[in-house]
Amino acid sequence: MNRRIEAVREFLKKNDLDGLLVTKQQNWQYLSGFTGTNAVLIITTDDQYLITDFRYLEQAAEQAGGFHIIKPFALVEDAVADQVKKLGLNRLGFEDDHLTYHLYSVYKEKLPGVALVPLHETVEKIRWVKDQEEIACLKRAAGITDEAFDNILDFIKPGVRESELALEIEYFMRRKGAQKSAFEIIVASGPRAALPHGVASDKKLVPGEFVVIDFGAVVDGYHADMTRTVVLGRADEQHRKIYDLVLRAQEKALEVLKPGVRCSAVDLAARDLISVEGYGANFGHGLGHSVGLEIHEKPAFTPKDETVLQPGMVLTVEPGIYLSGWGGVRIEDLILVTTDGIEILSKSPKNLIEL
């Protein structure tokens, strides 16, 4: 049986549970391979079931090898409850931040005598360390993202709207085989570059401005995430000063980053450097986050995350400095923690590009 489901079973045994009800989309995709929009998994200590609706029966049978596919007579929740009864499960874990209160109440009523045990981020934690198959998807996503950056440089010209650049990036990535854009593309120029999440607007580019571009491709459900900041026209002294500081902070974090190190220590490495130069207050977000089937996963590079890094984790490293009214710089790479260090999955150049 597959390693991912084995990890769930180990958890069930350790916690004296008879089964796990999986209702979060990324988690059921991770465990079963099923990519439809409606499913519930029941993972027991020795078998696994996928309940979906009529629309997806054929797809589920194709994608979810090793699962019994259960066709509901009417409602999915009725079929789930029937199956739980049939299997005689007494202690059933559920995903406490994904099962709605309504559905919880429905199950509570339909399954008298069954202990419904709230579990927090159980499958998510198994997903922290990516396997080879996942890493291959992430590398393909990062590769398309790099190609899209190289392509967009020719389009960055005075008078072009941020939204046009975002559209070209998305069109290019999808032509190259991306399923979709990982999130609403950020193209933030001039004073808008001071907005850490300035999604592309109809603002036109003006010479002498920074342009922050933050985007990523999705391949087989896996997200890439990269940011580059370029200057339209000639960089002045202030542009260079801020850009160099952000780049040095990013490089500092990459130096520190390896298995066995705490997430907070990586954040601190970059944050200290920026603070010493007097811009600590202008770097108001975490240094990075894990990425996978979701764009923002845990663990994360924040001052408070004490998670110890392990080989197979994939995270972003993205320091930024934002000066209200003037602009900002962020430089972000996607990295893989390896057995002895890191592999940087983003390959786009990081020198200050003037266009």
Q: Per this entry, what is the length of the chain?
A: 355
Nearer to Mn ion, 4 or 298 (CB): 298
**Buried/exposed code over 274-287 (b: 16+ C-beta within 10 A; e: otherwise):** beeeebeebbeebb
d(CA 227, CA 216): 9
Nearer to Mn ion, 241 or 296 (CB): 296
Q: How far is the CB of 289 from Mn ion (least distance, A)?
A: 6
Nearer to Mn ion, 316 or 348 (CB): 316
Whether 311 contacts 225, CB under 8 Å = no
Q: How far is the CB of 277 from Mn ion (least distance, A)?
A: 23
CA-nearest of 288, 290, 281, 283 to 318 is 288
Q: How far is the CB of 334 from Mn ion (least distance, A)?
A: 8
Nearer to Mn ion, 72 or 299 (CB): 299
Nearer to Mn ion, 80 or 188 (CB): 188
Q: How far is the CB of 53 from Mn ion (least distance, A)?
A: 34
Nearer to Mn ion, 64 or 211 (CB): 211
Which residue is it, tokens 């790479």?
Answer: 333
Residue 192 neighbours by CB under 8 Å, 6+ apart: 162, 198, 201, 203, 327
Q: How far is the CB of 302 from Mn ion (least distance, A)?
A: 13
Q: How far is the CB of 183 from Mn ion (least distance, A)?
A: 8
Which residues would be at the binding site for Mn ion (CB under 5 A)? 225, 316
- For the residues of 125-189, what is the DSSP string, one character each? HHHTS--HHHHHHHHHHHHHHHHHHHHHGGG--TT-BHHHHHHHHHHHHHHTT-SEESSSPEEEE
